[in-house]
Chain A
Amino acid sequence: MYDRMQELGTEQITRIHDASMDILKNTGVIFNEDEALEIFKKNGFRVDGKIVFFEEKDVEQALKTVPKRFRVYARNPENNVDIGEDDFVFVPGYGAPYVITPQGDQREATMEDYDNFCKLVHTSKHINMNGWMMVEPSDMPHETVHLDLNLSNILLCDKAFMGSPVSRKAAVEGLEMAAIAWGGKENIMDKAVSVSLINSLSPLQFSDEMAGSLIELARHGQACVIASLIMAGASGPVTMDGVATLQNAEILAGITLSQLVRQGAPVIYGSTSSAMDMRTGALSIGAPELSMNVSFTAQMARFYNLPSRSGGGLTDSLFPDAQAGIESALALSTAARNGINFILHSCGILGSYIAMSYEKFLLDEETCGLIRHMFRPTAVSDDSIDVEMIKTVGIGGQYLTHPKTFKLCRTELYSTDLMSRMNYDAWTKAGKKRIDQVAEDKVSQRLATYERPDIDPGIEKALTAYVAAKKKG
């Protein structure tokens, strides 16, 4: 297939790989975590203080044991998802401290907001997995909020969810809650029921929280995204190939640790590196460099036979306006078309990750639906083309009343729930609403008609009791 986006040739990929190996071998990566350093030492890595140095053969050994695809199990088996190769998932926004209101005001996010987003994910036709910390609730104690988020994830939505990697303790407690939901730790040790986001600290570091969480999660067979977010020109080189090289070194260092902890632990090669805005110093995720890097990330991951994570409905705009639509659709479409497998931040994010918007959640969700539909294979079979039908209708006829049109009119073509296809008079009659205003109405309807999925009352009781006990300390 012809695509104008740059395809990296073997020579270019090898150049990036070799440069990363040079960095890993000679500069190394800092792990601010004692057990991580012990694990590296035990496996014969050169460690100087907190700096770990990697030989190419060690990295290659680790890459051999990473599964190229894996399944994440959901509470409702119909919602199990496969990640890797041709299979990909849309996952909601992550980590936003604020909510942007339909009036364009920014307010602190609350636990109620978090629950609402769980409900929107549960009722979404296009979002395949629940996230984690879609918003950061300001009304809950920081030390224990991970428990509340995990509980809402499990109770309010029956799709697969993301894990709580904010600290080693939070990761362990998340694992214990998942174990309760699946009837015992032994039931999740060999199957992923969560995907957690582990970020490097660019350039070339891993924090104690992230490395500690990675160790616990890999040890328990839970999937992790090892991701790097470099700001080109600030926390990494100003050139995008330089960024690709630096992030590659960081990601491979994290992946190597995961496989030393447990061979075969499912991990995803991830990056959402982008440009720094040279006027303001702010991170820009609406920049075209973001989408360039999305493509490079997908290509490097394929080179290593790894599942990849990047992209999303990413924008710098602070309102679900035209800018948000343009930037988000570009990044989402680039990620999906280039073969990214885990598309985090698929919906809801505004203002360079600063806020979630309910209305934008619906807009992006629709974009996900459009994109997924574009990838539906066209049969190109005798039955599907149906040349006899075309001859029968003949010159100047119509297909509206043909039985085949009737039979396929609901399934063959994409039906939008959100986009306006009205003519001017109908649009005027409907109040000349912009898409964010239409979305605002639909958010209320969705939340009002939401029904909580069934759960074994014994499991629910055990989960709430666990959270209560942990909060008491």
Chain B
Amino acid sequence: MSDLKTITETLLTGDGEKVAELTQAALDAGVSAKDILDQALIAGMDIVGARMESGEMFIPEVLMSAQAMGGAVEILKPLLSEEDSAGVGKVVLGTVKGDLHDIGKNLVSMMLESAGFEVINMGVDVDPDAFIKAIKDNDADILALSALLTTTMPMMAQTIKSVEESGLRDKIKILVGGAPVNQSYADEIGADGYAPDAGSASKLAKSLMA
């Protein structure tokens, strides 16, 4: 158990090399990949999320921890059963058509991944049809839409409408975010949730999967 605790603590410092080393050492010592993932890494990222929300951890530090987690997961992946490696759920994520803003959405992507989600990151300027195809191809649980401009916000509503028309709406939860977006806009366009920042986005995604 103390090995797992050390991994968690190292994860919080953002030292990816050390986390990978410790992960390998724990495997060598006979700890199961599933236990390392759940009890050391995901548990660590929960702490990271909470510290990000409280302002104790800064975004670049959060991202370092998330990257460290990603590196460790790569080591664990071949050893996890299909069910375990499927993680918490699948998210198709992207910035809506007409909007080229990338960074905030990538931040959310990293936080989701480190919370155990599989993320299909579609990039920026994503056409509604491309989202729909990705949902179908990946059998996704969540669609996460980003927009930074007031001029591209209506494209969120249009994307949701396209999802409805495709008949997929009942199968998928839709999250929206971005600087000009707020809860009432999310309600207005029929999204299932809105998060003001990356930390709360991953928390919200998890609650939708529960």
Interface residues of A (CB under 8 A from B): 396, 398, 400-402, 405-406, 409-410, 415, 423-426
Closest beta carbon of chain A to B49's beta carbon, Å: 15
Complex interface: chain B residues within 8 A of A400 (CB): 59-60, 63, 103, 106-107
Query: How far, in whole Å, are A274 and B80 apart by their CA atoms in the complex?
Result: 75
Q: Which of B14, B63, B103, B182 contacts A425 (CB 8 A)?
A: B182
Binding site secondary structure of chain B: helix
Within the complex, the shortest CB–CB distance from A17 to chain B, in Å, comes to 52
Please indicate the chain A residues that have their CB under 8 angstroms from the CB of B63 in the complex. Answer: 400-401, 406
Of B63, B102, B194, most buried by chain A (CB within 10 Å of CB) is B63
Q: Which chain B residues (116-146) contact chain A, with CB distance < 8 Å?
A: none
Q: Which residue of A lies closest to B110 (CB)?
A: A401
6 contacts between A and B (CB under 8 A): A396-B102, A400-B106, A402-B60, A406-B14, A406-B60, A426-B197
**Contact partners of A405 in chain B: CB under 8 A:** 60
Chain B, residues 83-125, CB within 8 Å of chain A (1/0): the string is 0000000000000000000110011000000000000000000
Given the complex of chains A and B, what is the CA–CA distance between A405 and B61 in angstroms?
A: 9
Interface of chain B residues 38 through 85 with chain A (CB within 8 A)? 58-61, 63-64, 67
Closest CB-CB distance, B67 to chain A, in whole Å?
Answer: 6
CA distance A398 to B58 in the complex (A): 16
Q: Which of B102, B183, B197 contacts A398 (CB 8 A)?
A: B102
| Chain A hits for B179, CB < 8 A | 423
* Docked-complex contact B102 and A409, CB < 8 angstroms: no
One of B58, B67, B102, B194 near A401 (C-beta < 8 A): B67
The answer, yes or no, to whether B190 is at the interface (CB within 8 Å) is: no
> Sorted from nearest, which 6 A-B pairs have the closest CB atoms?
A409-B60, A406-B60, A405-B60, A409-B58, A401-B63, A425-B196
- Interface contact B102-A410, CB-CB below 8 Å: no
Cβ–Cβ contact A401 & B183, under 8 A: no
Which A residues are CB-close (under 8 A) to B183? 425
Partner of A423, one of B102, B103, B106, B196: B196
Question: Among residues 5 to 45 in chain B, which have CB atoms less than 8 Å away from a CB atom of chain A?
Answer: 14
Return A395 CB to nearest CB of chain B, in Å.
12
- Chain A residues with CB below 8 A from B14, complex form: 406
Residues of A contacting B106 with CB < 8 Å?
398, 400
Cβ–Cβ < 8 Å partners of A409 in chain B: 58-61
Chain A residues lying within 8 Å of B61, measured Cβ to Cβ, are 406, 409
Residues of A within 8 A of B197 (CB): 426
Contact string against A for B residues 170-203, beta-carbon threshold 8 Å, 1 for contact and 0 otherwise: 0000000001001100000000001011000000
Chain A residue contacts of B107, Cβ below 8 A: 400
With the chains together, A423 CA to B195 CA distance in Å?
Answer: 11
Q: Beyond the given A400-B103, A409-B60, please list 10 additional residue pairs across the A-B interface where CB-CB is below 8 A.
A: A398-B106, A400-B59, A400-B106, A401-B64, A406-B64, A409-B58, A423-B182, A425-B182, A425-B196, A426-B197
The residue in chain B whose Cβ has the minimal distance to the Cβ of A405 is: B60
Q: From residue B201, how far is it (CB to closest CB) to chain A in Å? A: 12
Chain A, residue nearest B186 (CB): A425
Q: Which residue in chain B gives the minimum CB-CB distance to A403? A: B64
Contact of A424 (CB < 8 Å), options: B58, B64, B182: B182
CB distance from A384 to the nearest CB of B (A): 17
A426 and B196 in contact, given A398-B102, A400-B103, A401-B63 (Cβ under 8 angstroms): yes
CA distance A426 to B196 in the complex (A): 7
Residues on the A chain within 8 Å of B64, using CB: 401, 406
List the B residue with the shortest CB-CB distance to A404. B60
Task: Identify the closest chain B residue to A407 (Cβ).
Answer: B60
A410 to B62 CA separation, bound complex (whole angstroms): 13
Q: Give Cα A410 to B60, complex, Å.
A: 10
CB distance from B182 to the nearest CB of A (A): 5
Q: How far is the CB of A405 from chain B (nearest CB, A)?
A: 4
Q: Taking CB as reference atom, which chain A residue is nearest B66? A: A401
| Cα–Cα, bound, A423→B104 (Å) | 14
What is the minimal beta-carbon distance from A8 to any residue of chain B, in angstroms? 44
Chain B residues, CB < 8 A from A426? 196-197
A398–B103 touching, CB < 8 Å? yes
Q: How far is the CB of A3 from chain B (nearest CB, A)?
A: 34
User: In the complex the two chains form, what is the Cα distance from A424 to B196 in whole Å?
Assistant: 9
Tell me the smallest distance from the CB of B41 to a CB of chain A, in Å.
18
CA distance A341 to B102 in the complex (A): 46
Give the shortest distance, in Å, between B163 (CB) and chain A (any CB).
24
> When chains A and B are docked, how far (Å) is the Cα of A401 from the Cα of B60?
6
Name the distance in Å between A178's Cβ and chain B's nearest Cβ. 40
A415 — which chain B residues lie within 8 A by C-beta? Answer: 58
Nearest B residue to A421, CB-CB: B55
- Closest B residue to A408 by CB, please name it: B60
A414 to B156, CA, bound (A): 35
Contacts of A424 in B (CB 8 A): 182
Measured between beta carbons, the chain A residues less than 8 angstroms from B67 are 401
| Alpha-carbon distance between A280 and B196 when the two chains are bound, in angstroms | 49
Cα separation A426 to B103 with both chains bound (whole Å):
20
For B64, the closest partner residue in chain A by CB is A406
- What are the residues of chain B within 8 A of A398 when measuring CB–CB? 102-103, 106
A426 and chain B: residue at smallest CB distance? B196
Residues of the A chain whose Cβ atoms lie less than 8 Å from the Cβ of B196: 423, 425-426
Return the chain B residue nearest A417 by Cβ: B55
* A438 CB, min distance to chain B CBs, angstroms: 13
In the bound complex, what is the Cα–Cα distance between A443 and B106 (angstroms)?
38
Shortest CB–CB separation between residue A445 and chain B, in angstroms?
Answer: 14
Q: Which residues of B contact A402 (CB under 8 A)?
A: 60
Residues of A within 8 A of B182 (CB): 423-425
Asked, given contacts A398-B103, A398-B106, whether A410 binds B58 with beta carbons under 8 Å apart, the answer is yes
